[in-house]
Every structure is written in C-alpha cells, then in structure tokens.
C-alpha cells in the first residue's frame, strides 16, 4: 500500500492547500478553455489532486484506499518490481483519459471547470473488479455486500445513462471513462487476468 498511501497523502495536501489558496485552485483545476487556448496541458493531471470540499475529498480518498491497497498488492504480484510504475500509469492515465470527453465538449467554454480524483478512483475500482469479480462491495445505503461484478455492471449502466441526461454538476463522463480505462489498462498489461476472471465466475477455461 506504499504507492496508494503516497497518492492519498499528496492529494490531501494539495486539496487542503487549494481550499485556502484561490490562486492555486484556479490555476490547477481542469479548464478545457485554458488547456486549448493557453496551452496549459498540465491541467489534464493537476485537477485530480484538487477537490471541491471536505466531503468530496473524503469520499474519494476512502474509496481509493479501500480498493487501491488490493489493486496495489495484485499489481505487485503480477508485475513484481515494476508494480509502482504500472500502478502510476493506471492512476495518471485515468486522470488524463477520463477528462478527454469533457475537453472535447467544453474546449470553447470559458466557464466550464472540474476538479476531483473520481475518474482515477473509478479506474482503481474497476481494476479491482477485473482482478476479483466476486469480492463484496458495500455501499452506505445497502446493508449487505454486492458482488463486484454486479456492482460494476450497474455502475457502468448508471454512469452512461447519467452522462447522457444529468445536469447535476457531477463528472459522470469522467466516472464512466475512468472505469473503462481501468479495465482496459489492466487487461492490456496482463491479458491472463481475463482467464483468472472467467475462472472465478465459474467458466471452465485453461490457464
């Protein structure tokens, strides 16, 4: 859990600084207009270390720790000494890829901006689902654990539907594409995981 804890520590530090430093917050949030018209490409990454408030920060960090530790251990097993590199590529790649749709939609909108690690956190959650599809996921409003594979399907359907219809200032596109990136990246880096995934679901495949 070395890299997970480090990411959480950096995110908390930068987010808290952003709470009290308006200039830092403004210069680091994801603003597609500034990315396109001012060449501020660093915003594709810095926005993920800022949050809109304590609740936003707390939820993302709790979820990141809950799933990140498991994914980090699995990556350590699969990638040995290179696991930190692969974990960082997963996390930072998700930060970038999860806001590409928002960039396409809002690159000429000076007023649009977003912050938060939700896209990268979704990637971590879905990396854990492809690794352990039958693990139990507990939600605040449901007293029993939901199999991860079922949660994943419901989550993707919900985020896709909300990304098409919602006007609630939540980055559903980022959640959706972060989740998809987490699946694709993990499979691409270690294709045998698909076979383990199927075996856990009861399919008779050779490994």
Q: Centre a 10 Å sphere on the Cβ of residue 141 and count the other Cβ atoms it contains.
A: 4
pLDDT at 167: 65
Cα torsion 148, 51, 142, 153: sign: negative
Res 160: pLDDT: 87
Residue 149 φ/ψ, nearest 5 degrees: -65, -40
Domain 2-200 has CATH 1.20.1540.10: yes
Which one, of 190, 192, 199, lies nearest residue 87 by Cα?
190
Q: What is the pLDDT of residue 29?
A: 96
Phi and psi torsions of 126, nearest 5°: -80, -25
pLDDT at residue number 166: 59
What pLDDT score was predicted for residue 1?
63
Give the residues of the chain that fall short of pLDDT 70. 1, 140-142, 166-169, 207
């Amino acid at each position: 859990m070395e890299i997970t804890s480090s990411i959480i520590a950096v995110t908390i530090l930068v987010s808290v600084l952003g709470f009290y430093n308006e200039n830092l917050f403004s210069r680091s949030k994801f603003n597609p207009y500034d990315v396109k018209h001012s060449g501020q490409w660093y915003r594709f990454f810095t926005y993920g270390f800022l949050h809109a408030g304590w609740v936003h920060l707390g939820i993302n960090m709790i979820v990141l720790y809950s799933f990140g530790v498991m994914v980090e251990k699995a990556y350590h097993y699969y990638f040995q000494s290179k696991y930190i590199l692969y974990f960082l590529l997963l996390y930072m790649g998700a930060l970038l890829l999860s806001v590409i749709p928002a960039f396409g939609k809002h690159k000429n909108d000076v007023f649009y901006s977003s912050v938060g690690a939700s896209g990268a956190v979704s990637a971590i959650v879905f990396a854990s689902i492809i690794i352990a599809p039958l693990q139990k996921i507990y939600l605040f409003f449901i007293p029993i654990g939901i199999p991860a594979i079922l949660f994943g399907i419901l989550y993707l359907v919900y985020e896709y539907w909300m990304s098409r219809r919602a006007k609630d200032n939540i980055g559903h596109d980022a959640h959706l594409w972060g989740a998809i990136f987490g699946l694709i990246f993990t499979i691409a880096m270690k294709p045998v995981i698909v076979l383990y995934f199927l075996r856990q679901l009861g399919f008779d495949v050779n490994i």
